């Protein structure tokens, strides 16, 4: 295969590729064979129609399928042959093909700089693990007490932390019941209440008290001829009856509480006979968390050092692409970016550009290390990550995969997994000294 390269702009290449006639002929034979095996033509048994009949019937489709088969493959081979790393989708042009002749085409593509990564093997790394704070153990034990709390009926006014068992009914505009009464609804008095309007109304209530509450629901459904998307507030009035006030009682921190606790790790379930055993397990698990955080800090520091050591020019268009995405998210999240949007966008671009350049350099460097060490992410690894995401979100893996595919986000997921592999490779091939923050 012949490849010629032109450089119309700094980071742009035009590849002129010529595929030998004998290679094209082999692919053409395969395409004809596939059509012959699939085609059901009058007067011929399936798979027995002669080539000229297949050509007369499916000539244009065969021509299209042949190009679709050869051009992407030849393009990838040309990139590998010329050691080019594309950072944009190719634009194919000047396709020239006739039967029994070479096939030629041009591919216009933007490319990354040639990066020869150094210093990533045998790095001196330091792992400083924070000791588990006793306060964190105490917080975990207190959380366990909260999960095993009892709510005991009391004869007093409700206060923060209490649960009020409420019967309530919705009222129509005339103040009459609009539907059946809902009974035994628990209202938590405090900031974490499911219906804060009910919680405010029931604060200070005793069993038998009647209270009123108004709930406002704002939505963007069309109403009264207003433009689509105009916010509309719907007011609902309720009558509440306090059936019972329950006070939260925390169990004592003792062996009896520890014996109620079970922990699960994979298929293994652990139980505890004493409070000391439970405390040791909490300490152990928090130690794993601190170890993981320390390893992440160590890996981040290693990559930062590599980015500082491996200096190369970063294409402006890649930085601009990253900034465009950041700007869009910033504008969506910040309602204050209004008025002179052009000036604010320009200021934002100047502020974020150094970080964006470093982020692009990091990505290009890790990609170069992956190529150097022949690291790759398989489809199976992507599938496993999709399954993990689905489990975390309580969804079906097929649904998550389809969503990522429609959003054209599978490539980004694969890139993230590959970067993780590279970082893992760097750490595994480093020389790790274990220390402590105090040192």
- Please say whether the beta carbons of 313 and 115 come within 8 A: no
The per-residue b/e assignment along 223-241, b for 16 or more CB within 10 angstroms, e otherwise, is eeeeeeeeeeeeeeebbbb
Per-domain residue ranges for the chain? 2-110, 150-249, 268-435
Domain spanning 2-110: CATH 3.30.70.1050: yes
150-249 has which fold?
Chitinase A; domain 3 (3.10.50)
| Between 255 and 46, residue with greater pLDDT | 255
pLDDT digits (tens, 9 = 90+) for 189-207: 986 667 899 999 999 999 9
Owner of token pair 């080539």:
51
| pLDDT at residue 259 tops 90 | yes
| Contact residues for 220 (Cβ-Cβ < 8 A; gap 6+) | 228, 229, 230, 231, 232
Q: What pLDDT score does 265 carry? A: 74
pLDDT digits (tens, 9 = 90+) for 56-113: 888 899 999 999 999 999 999 999 999 999 999 999 999 999 888 999 999 999 999 9
Structure tokens at 263: 């922990």
Structure tokens at 73: 């493959």
> What is the pLDDT confidence band of residue 329, given thresholds at 50, 70 and 90?
low
pLDDT digits (tens, 9 = 90+) for 118-127: 999 999 999 9
pLDDT digits (tens, 9 = 90+) for 372-408: 999 999 999 999 999 999 999 999 999 999 999 998 8
Structure tokens at 377: 């992410």
| pLDDT at residue 222 tops 70 | no
pLDDT digits (tens, 9 = 90+) for 150-203: 999 999 999 999 999 999 999 998 889 888 899 999 999 986 667 899 999 999
| pLDDT at residue 333 tops 90 | no
Closest CA to 78 of 92, 66, 61, 99: 92
- For the chain, give the percent of residues with pLDDT over 90: 71
Q: What pLDDT score does 229 carry? A: 53
| Contact residues for 140 (Cβ-Cβ < 8 A; gap 6+) | 282, 286
- For the chain, give the percent of residues with pLDDT over 70: 91
Homologous superfamily of domain range 268-435: Trigger factor, C-terminal domain (1.10.3120.10)
- Please say whether the beta carbons of 320 and 110 come within 8 A: no
- Please say whether the beta carbons of 17 and 1 come within 8 A: yes
């Amino acid at each position: 295969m012949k490849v010629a390269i032109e450089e119309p702009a700094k980071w742009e290449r035009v590849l002129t590729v010529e595929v030998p006639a004998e290679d094209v002929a082999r692919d053409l034979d395969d395409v004809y064979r596939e059509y012959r095996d699939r085609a059901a033509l009058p007067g011929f048994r399936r798979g027995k129609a002669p080539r000229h009949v297949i050509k007369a019937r499916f000539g244009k489709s065969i021509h299209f399928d042949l190009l679709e088969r050869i051009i992407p493959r030849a393009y990838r081979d040309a990139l590998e042959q010329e050691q080019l790393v594309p950072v944009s989708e190719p634009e194919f042009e000047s396709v020239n093909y006739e039967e029994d002749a070479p096939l030629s085409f041009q591919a216009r593509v933007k490319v990354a700089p040639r990066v020869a990564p150094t210093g990533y093997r045998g790095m001196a790394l330091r792992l400083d693990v924070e000791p588990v704070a006793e306060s964190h153990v105490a917080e975990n034990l207190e959380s366990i007490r909260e999960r095993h709390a009892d709510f005991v009926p009391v004869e007093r006014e409700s206060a923060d932390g209490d649960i009020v068992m409420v019967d309530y009914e919705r009222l129509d505009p005339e103040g009459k019941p609009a539907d059946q009464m809902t009974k035994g609804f628990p209202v938590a008095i405090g900031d974490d209440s499911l219906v804060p309007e009910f919680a405010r109304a029931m604060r200070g209530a005793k069993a038998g008290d009647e209270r009123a509450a108004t709930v406002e629901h704002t939505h963007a459904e069309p109403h009264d001829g207003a433009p689509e998307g105009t916010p509309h507030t719907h007011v609902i009035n309720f009558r509440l009856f306090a059936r019972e006030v329950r006070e939260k009682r925390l169990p004592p921190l003792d062996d009896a509480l520890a014996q109620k606790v079970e922990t699960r790790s994979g298929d293994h379930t652990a139980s505890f006979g004493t409070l000391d055993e439970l405390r040791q397990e909490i300490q152990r698990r928090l130690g794993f968390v601190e170890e993981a955080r320390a390893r992440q800090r160590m890996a981040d520091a290693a990559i930062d050092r590599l980015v500082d050591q491996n200096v190369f020019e970063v294409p402006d268009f890649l930085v601009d692409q990253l900034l465009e995405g950041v700007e869009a998210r910033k504008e969506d999240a910040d309602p204050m970016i209004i008025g002179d949007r052009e000036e604010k966008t320009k200021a934002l671009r100047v502020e974020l550009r150094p970080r964006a350049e470093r982020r692009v350099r990091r990505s290009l460097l890790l990609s170069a290390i992956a190529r150097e060490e022949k690291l790759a992410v398989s489809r199976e690894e992507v599938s496993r990550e999709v399954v993990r995401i689905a489990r975390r979100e309580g969804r079906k893996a097929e649904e998550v995969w389809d969503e990522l595919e429609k959003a054209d986000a599978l490539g980004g997921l694969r890139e993230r997994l590959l970067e993780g592999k590279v970082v893992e490779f760097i750490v595994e091939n480093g020389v790790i000294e274990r220390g402590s923050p105090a040192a």
